[in-house]
Structure formats: structure tokens, C-alpha cells
Amino acid sequence: MKLYTYFRSSAAYRVRIALALKGLDYEAVPVHLLRDGGEQHRPEYRAIHPGGLVPALQTDGGEVLVQSLAIIEYLEETHPEPPLLPPDPLGRARVRGLALTIACDTHPLNNLGVLRYLTERLGASEEQKLDWIRHWIERGLGTFERLLDDPRTGRFCHGDTPTLADCCLVPQVFNARRYECSLEAFPRIRAVVEACEALPAFQEAAPARQPDAPQPASGQRCHPNQGGADRPSAERPVVRSRSSFFGRTGEGEMHQPNDEPRKSVYYRYQVFPPYLPRETEARQKVVIVGAGPVGMTLALLLARYRVPSVILDSEVQVSEGSRAIVYTRRSMEILQQAGVARRIAEIGLPWRFGNSYYRGQRVFRMEAPHDEDSRFYPMINLQQQYLEEFLLEEVCRSGLVEVRWGNRLIGLSQCDDGVEARIDTQLGEYTLSTDWLVAADGARSSVRSLLGLSLVGDSYTGRFVIADIKIDLDLPTERLAFFDPEWNPGNTVLMHRQPFGIWRIDFRLPEGEEPEEALRFEVLAARIDAHLRMIGYEGKSWELDWCSVYSARALTLEDYVHGNVVFVGDAAHVLPIFGVRGANTGFQDAFDLAWKLAFTLYGWSDRSLLASYSEERVGAAKEIIEEAGRSTRFMTPPTTGHRTMRDAVLSLSIENGFVGPLFHWRTSRPHVYAHSRLNARDDDQALFLEGPVDGAPIPNVKLGLDDFLLDHWDESIHLLVFTEREALPADVTALLQRLRARGVPLRLLAISLGRDHVEGADLTLPDPEGRCWRKYGASVDGATYLVRPDQHVAARWGNCAVHRIAPVLERLVNRLGESA
């Protein structure tokens, strides 16, 4: 028998318990309900279960059964020992009634589809969703508790042997614990569950014991985060964090990271055991310094190429405070490739509007483009701690990434074939050799300091306070900007809503005020109260979670590749937060670097490919700095002249709508690598009236229900061919096949108006309405795009011809001549 299951599915859990109680062997076929948009939606699984649900049981005879209780009844009839139903009719009816109290009255109200409908279609907040979950679980368990007040209840729900009712109760209690429901009012349920969980069959069926559950890679367990106080604490993966003592090799004070969990009113920080040095350290392929969002995203993108990496972080817990909170659509497309976009979308707050106010009057309303071809909203808000938690979970699942907490880089030296890194720990120093070292250690990069590198650009004089407060405000999820507010004249205030009842208030300090004074609670509280009074919430109670002071800077390194050391994110550039550029720009760095570093490591390309990384991303940073400078000068005028101009615009805006666009904050957007050395030099760019130009990222297109073009993307170079022919040109497929034989990841995608299959294509995507053809400007049969692994166009032609494709591929895979 085959059981199609998901480790955390309550319905599948029931069936696993029944199979274990009956001692039946079966093959578990995991169907991940969250990864890559949900594997249950794939056509191959829909062919097994048309409803796309788990569990499904394929019998030895090939028949497929669905619905957990129907499957268990089948097992009861075909394998009656040991029985899961009593022998008498009244007893069987009672057990079935108990089971249905869970399976019909409780569990369906909280399944994944219902919860997504609540948030995505009805606009329920995360707090409202959790309130819904807890309400129905506690109500259902209350009914079940009263039904157990019966003389027929024994050690188990009915008598002293497990029944169908116990198979249903235990998974529901697992969910109750996961969503932090109180079980204090259910003593009979607690006693029954305790008896069940003492049995090997229930232990074997538990979610944590399933093959698709997150498992430790090896070595010491790290006990990852158990979740914030306002969100479920489901099973968490663990990271490989091996421990071995061999003594201290360095001099001076050893690194002692803070091992006290950080305080938060909504997030429960977890302290991870530090990695302690061993006597012998193996040479690594890639070492990434910094376990922040960009560093972990890079590690996950490298893992798609089976490139292992080690992440070093001087701390032993995720970042303090919400920090980066706004992620753009482009970032979500990148994070989809890293495997975490679905998790972010589940609890993040999407938005597309921004409002600018001057002296209490709205003077501009920004609307970010959004249409049905967009899987993700233009922006989504989520605190950085949760993003790091989700990335860490995926890192642990990968099996290719090792996180070494409490490891501080204190020195490095380069040789011809790599880098020697000196690392300090609680037990002293050790040396780690690596082919490549990537600096993802933030704006105060230790790697940058150790190499003596300096950033160039502009630093602005204005200072800003960020304060995260927990407060209940009935305001929509939109960016709010207040210019010249009554309580902070001449300055600016920004507000952003975050999940779990958190609001960010971000305001400029008066000239000359020191950060220490600004963060003094009495001063900060008075300003927050004044702002709440101004927007109509005078006297509203709130609780401070985190606060900090920052300055707006627009700086970059001139080169991101120095020998075998590469820079990404804030280690490479420091950008103003206006326009949500920081982390969002870093994700684009990681996406560009990952494939180029992997291709270099495998020998598919030489180091010149990494030179293109630096050229492209430095160019992007300089363009951002120019745009960000305009935004920053508007938000925090650096001179009297700039302030006079800004104030004139503000005054005009009250009665003149034409100045409204001057308030536009020029939000982060993907860069177009128009001058990349990887672009085609003689393609058919001029023939296309629509579609992404060379160097631009490809746009998403909706292909069907919950099905978008970029859902089908992977780590490969893609040849995208728009055709109605039965087969692709044989010489083109032969070229790609020769490169694949060397291991180069290449895919050939056909977009067809009327065919479900095009010979020679790795995947054919039907486009019966021609949406994709129109969006890509494919006006003739055979129109072809060559797309890099980071989804940027390298070339486009009016026909699919090998003599035109080969030279551009040669720039991406520059050993083409050896095998073509």
C-alpha cells in the first residue's frame, strides 16, 4: 500500500495511527502542502486525488481511496485485527460519533484551504485567523470532553483499547498544542491522549517521526524557534551544529555572544547552541558570513545547485527587532525560488497603496500596479525575525547548509585557490579554509573592515527613530507618510502596519538631538502619544517592543568581488530605507550571485562570470543611490535650499494636484541589466513591440487557477519558445542535450496556444488565451527568449535558430566550444 501523506496533516495522521495500530506495512509518499505553492496542486497528484487533498491510500490492487475515515473503515474491514470499532452496534455508533465530532465539526473549519480563504479572500488579519482557529478547536474539544463523560470511557475514548475515536482525537490535540490552545478545561481528553501517546503505534505515527518532517542534518540539535506568542509553535527543523572540544588556540578574550533570549511583546526568541571547534576542519566550498535574510537566501539558492555552504554568525539568535519589514513583489519571486514565499504570504500583510499627508490633509495617494498576472502583491509586510525563522527552517531542510552560531570572523587571508578564515568561539579560535567566502554581514561588515575596503557615496545628516509598538488600530495596511506634523514641525513621520498587532512609527529627530535622548522612554512615549493624538487615537494604550536610531546613507563598494571574497547585501552597499531598498536589493544580489558562483565552482564558466556579477550589481546600486538620493533629500532635506524647495512643494500640494507625484517615494524595483556583458549583441530586440528587453527580469503570467509562469521556474538557464509546431528544432535540442551531459542546468520550455505537448520541450505550458504570447510580444511562431537562472533576459529572437542561440549561450557557459 502507498499512503500519500503530509507530516502535519491531521487527516493523514489519523490514517498513520490506524495503520500502525494494525501493524500494516505501507510506503509513505510525502506530498508537501506548502512548498513551491503546494505539491498537492501538481497535475500528477491531481491524477491520484482530484481534490488535491491528503491522505490518499493506494491499495495493493491499485485502487485509490480518499477521505481519512473512509480509509480507516476500509482497513477495519480488510484487516479486522486488532479492531478499531467495538463489537456492539451502540458502541460502534458512539465511537463513530466521537470521531465525526473531530472530523466533521472541528477539523474542517481549520484546514489550510479555509484559513487561506479567510486571509486572502476575506481579508482576515493574522490575529483574526488565530482567534478563529482557537475558537473552533476549543469549542470542538469542549464538546468532545462532555461526550467523554460517559461510563463507557476507559483509558481510551471507548474502553481500554484504542479505537477510531482515538485515531481522530490525538491529531486534533496536536493541532491544539500547535496553536497554543489551553487544554486545562479538558482533563478527560488529556488523560486519554496521555495513554495514547505512551503506545508505540501513536509514537510511530507522530508528525516529528515522518520522513518529510524537518530533521536534524547531523550532530547537535539546535532547538529552533518555537514561534511567537501570537502564532503557532509547530515542529521546527533543526540545524546541524556539531560540538567538539579541543582547547583554545588563540590569545585574548574568547567570543561570548549574548545567550539571554531577547525580549519582545510578540516574538519568542530562541537561543541556539553555539558551534564549538573540532580538532580538524574540512575545507568548504562556500562560507557565508552572516545568517541574516540575504546570507540565508544565498545559501538556499546555492543549495538548488547542490552546492554546500557553511554560514557563520557571531550571534546565537535571530535579529533583534522587526528591522526590514517590507518585501517587494520581486523579492517574493526570489524568495519563492528559495522556498519561503508561501510561508511569508501566509502571515504577512500585503498592500499596494501609500498615502502622504501634509498638515493633516492627504495630498497624494500612491497606487502600485497590480493585476491578475501577479502572484504576489506589490509589497508585503512581515517582521524580519519571522523571515529569518522561515529561512532557517528551509536551510535545515536542505541538508546542504550548516549554520554555526556564535562564530565570529576575526581574520582572513587569501591565497590563489581560496580563503583562510580565522574564527573565534566560546572555546577559542579555529581556522576554516574555503574556496569562496561571501560577506553578508551587514552594514558594519567585519569582512569589509578586515580587507580595508571603503564605501563611496553620500551620508545624510538627518537621524530617524524607529519604534515598534503593539497597539490595536483600525487602519488599513497602507504606507502612511506625514509631512510637517503638528507634534514634529518641519520633519517627517512614517507608519507601517505589521502582523500581530505591531505598528512601526518612524520619525525624524529635531536637529541636534542625540540618539540617547531620543530613545529615553519618557521622551519616546511623549512623541508616540502625540502622534496617536494627531491621527485620532488619543489615550490609546500601547506597548513598546523595540526602538532604534538610524541615519540615511547611500553608499556602495566600487567592486563586489575581491579575489575569492564576494560581497552581498548591506556588506556591499548601504541604502536609505525610503523605498524599501535595503533587504530587497540584497535579495537581488543573492539571486544574481548564486548561479554565477555555482557555475564557477562546477567549472561550467570561468571567473569572468563573477566579474559580471560585480558589474551588474554595482551598476544597480549606483542607480538606486541616485534615485534614493532624491527620495532622501525630500524626506530629510540636507540644506536650506532643499528644505525651501520641499516646503514649497508641500504648500502647493494642498490645492494643486499636479505636484502630487513629487511625493512618490520611488520604491525598490528590479534592475534592468541593459549593458550586461552577458546580453546578446545581435538579437532581434528591435522586432519585439512588447515583452521584457535584454537584461530585464521576465514578467509573471497567470496560466490557470493558482498557476503562474514563474511557478515552473527552477535554477536552470531557460530557453522559452513560443510555438504551435509539433516539435522544436532538432539541432537546438541537440545543443542543449550536449551541455546537459556536462551537468549544465538547461531547460527548454514551450509556450503553446493549442498544444499540450511539444516534442523536444522539457515542459509545455498551454496558453490557450494567448496571455503569455501577448505579454512577451511573441507575434510569430518560434519567437524565443534565452533567460538566465536569475530570470533576466539574455536574448530574444524572432525564430528558434541554433546558430543564433549558441553564441549567447557561450557567454553564459563559456566552455561551449569544448562540447558543442
Kindly list the distances between the CA atom of residue 754 and the CA atoms of 724, 726, 750, 770, in Å, as whole numbers in the listed order. 7, 11, 11, 9
The pLDDT value given to residue 630: 57
Stated length of the chain: 820
Cα separation of 311 and 287, whole Å? 6
Q: In this predicted model, what pLDDT tens digit does every residue of 491-530 receive, in sequence order?
A: 889 999 999 999 999 998 887 788 888 889 999 999 999 9
Dmax over CA atoms of the chain, in Å, equals 91
The 3-class SS string of 796-812 reads EECCCCHHHHHHHHHHH
How many structural domains does the chain have? 3
For residues 140 and 593, what is the distance between their CA atoms, to the nearest angstrom?
51
Q: How far is CA 163 from CA 14, 69, 73, 87, 92, in A?
A: 11, 12, 11, 11, 9
> What is the model's pLDDT at position 117?
83
243 is a domain residue: no
User: For 338-356, what is the mean pLDDT?
Assistant: 95
The most confident of 28-37, 111-120, 442-451, 579-588, by mean pLDDT: 442-451
Cα 787 to Cα 791: distance, rounded to the nearest angstrom: 6
Element (H, E) at 794: strand 793-797
Greatest mean pLDDT among 11-15, 127-131, 231-235, 548-552 lies in 11-15
Q: CA nearest 310: which of 238, 404, 380?
A: 404
- The verdict on residue 562 lying in a domain is no
Rounded-to-integer distance, Cα 577 and Cα 555, Å: 12
Residues 625/457, Cβ–Cβ less than 8 Å: yes
Q: Name residues whose C-beta falls within 8 Å of residue 669's C-beta, 6 or more positions apart in sequence.
A: 328, 330
- 511 in Cβ contact with 490 (< 8 Å): no
What are residue 184's phi and psi, to 5 degrees? -60, -35
Domain boundary among 193, 209, 225: 209
User: Is 477 contained in some domain?
Assistant: yes
Amino acid occupying residue 29 = V
Query: For residues 553 and 574, is the Cβ–Cβ distance under 8 A?
Result: yes
Rounded average pLDDT over 478-482: 93
Chain-centre distance for alpha carbon 212: 19
Centroid of chain to Cα 2: 31
Question: 638 or 753, which is more confident?
Answer: 753
H or E stretch covering 380? strand 379-381
Structural domain for 810, as ranges:
685-819
Q: Within a domain: residue 97?
A: yes
Are β-strands 349-351 and 379-381 bridged in parallel, bridged antiparallel, or unpaired?
antiparallel
Q: Is residue 447 part of a domain?
A: no
Task: Please indicate, yes or no, if residue 639 is contained in any of the structural domains.
Answer: no
Q: Are 18 and 159 contained in the same domain?
A: yes
pLDDT over 50 at 548, yes or no:
yes
pLDDT of res. 624? 84
For residue 536, what are the CA distances in angstroms to 467, 529, 531, 544, 573? 19, 11, 9, 19, 39
Could you tell me the three cell numbers for 393?
Answer: 527552517
Q: Write out pLDDT tens, residues 397-425.
A: 999 999 999 999 999 999 888 999 999 99
* C-alpha cell of residue 400: 546542504
Residue 545, all three cell numbers: 517592543
Q: What mean pLDDT is predicted for residues 311-340?
A: 95
Q: Domain boundary at 191, 209, 227, which?
A: 209
Alpha carbon distance 18, 57 (integer Å): 12
621: Cα separation from own chain's centroid? 23
Euclidean distance between CA atoms 4 and 272, whole angstroms: 34
What number of H helices and E strands is found in the chain?
Answer: 23, 30
pLDDT tops 70 at residue 249: no
Overall average pLDDT of the 681-707 stretch: 95
Query: Which cell numbers in the block locate residue 55?
Result: 491522505
CATH number, residue 62: 1.20.1050.10
Same-domain check for residues 700 and 551: no
Q: What local confidence, expressed as pLDDT, does residue 341 receive?
A: 98
544 and 690 co-located in one domain:
no
Inform me whether the pLDDT recorded for 818 exceeds 50: no
**What is the Cα–Cα distance from 200 to 198, expressed in whole angstroms?**
7
pLDDT of residue 258: 81
Confidence of residue 639 (pLDDT cuts 50, 70, 90): low
What mean pLDDT comes out for the span 694-710? 96
- What confidence score (pLDDT) does residue 339 get? 97
Q: What is the DSSP letter of 339?
A: T
Residue 601 has φ and ψ, to the nearest 5°, of -60, -40
Q: How far apart are CA 141 and CA 105, in angstroms?
A: 10
434: in domain: no
Distance separating alpha carbons of residues 178 and 576, to the nearest angstrom: 39
Grid coordinates representing 685?
A: 530586440
Strand pairing report for 309-313 and 401-405? parallel
Tell me the C-alpha distance between 359 and 479, whole Å. Answer: 17
Does the structure show a pLDDT above 60 at 244?
A: no
Q: What is the dihedral of CA 680, 685, 691, 694, to 10 degrees?
A: 30
The CATH number that applies at residue 531 is 3.30.9.10
CA dist 231 and 264 (Å) reads 14
Task: Provide the pLDDT for residue 539.
Answer: 94
**For position 130, what pLDDT does the model report?**
78
Cα–Cα dist 747/788, whole Å: 11
Question: Given the C-alpha cell 534614493, which residue does it identify?
Answer: 628
pLDDT of 393: 96
Give the global pTM: 0.69
For residues 810 and 739, is the Cβ–Cβ distance under 8 A?
no
Reported as a single tens digit per residue, the pLDDT across 710-762 is 999 999 999 999 999 999 999 999 999 999 999 999 999 999 998 999 999 99
- pLDDT, position 247: 27
- Are the C-beta atoms of 235 and 208 separated by less than 8 Å? yes
Boundary (domain end) residue, out of 148, 180, 209: 209
Task: Encode 659-697: b = buried (16+ Cβ within 10 Å), e = exposed.
Answer: bbebbebbbbbbbbbeebebbbeebbeeebeebbebbbb
CA distance 331 to 405: 26
CA atoms within 13 A on the CB side of 224: 25
How much is the pLDDT for 115?
84
Least confident residue range of 28-37, 183-192, 419-428: 28-37
What confidence tens digit (pLDDT) does each residue in 198-238 have? Answer: 999 999 999 878 888 754 333 332 333 333 333 333 333 22
Calculate the alpha carbon distances from 52 to 4, 37, 226 in Å: 11, 12, 29
- Looking at every residue in the chain, the average pLDDT score rounds to 87
Residue 631 scores a pLDDT above 60: no
The closest alpha carbon to 374, from 329, 331, 411, belongs to 329
Q: Percent of the chain, pLDDT > 90? A: 67
- Domain harbouring 726, CATH code: 3.40.30.10
The pLDDT of 133-149, averaged and rounded, is 93
Residue 650 has what pLDDT? 55
What are the grid coordinates assigned to 698, written together? 521576465
Amino acid at 622: K
Position 185 scores a pLDDT of 87
Question: How far apart (Å, rounded) are the C-alpha atoms in residues 125 and 500?
Answer: 8
| Residue 236 near residue 225 (C-beta atoms within 8 A) | yes
Burial class (CB in 10 A: 0-12, 13-18, 19+), 245: exposed
Q: Give yes or no for residue 815 having a pLDDT over 60.
A: no
CB 498 within 8 Å of CB 508? no
What does the pLDDT look like over 36-50, one tens digit per residue? 678 888 888 899 999
- Spatial contact of 584 and 455, defined as CB atoms under 8 Å apart: no
What is the per-residue pLDDT for 121?
Answer: 77
pLDDT at 629: 54
Query: pLDDT at position 234, please?
Result: 33
Q: What is the pLDDT of residues 262-307, one digit of tens each?
A: 999 999 999 999 998 887 889 999 999 999 999 999 999 999 999 9
Residue 751 belongs to a domain: yes
CB atoms within 10 A of CB 819: 12
Q: At 217, list the grid cell.
A: 542534518
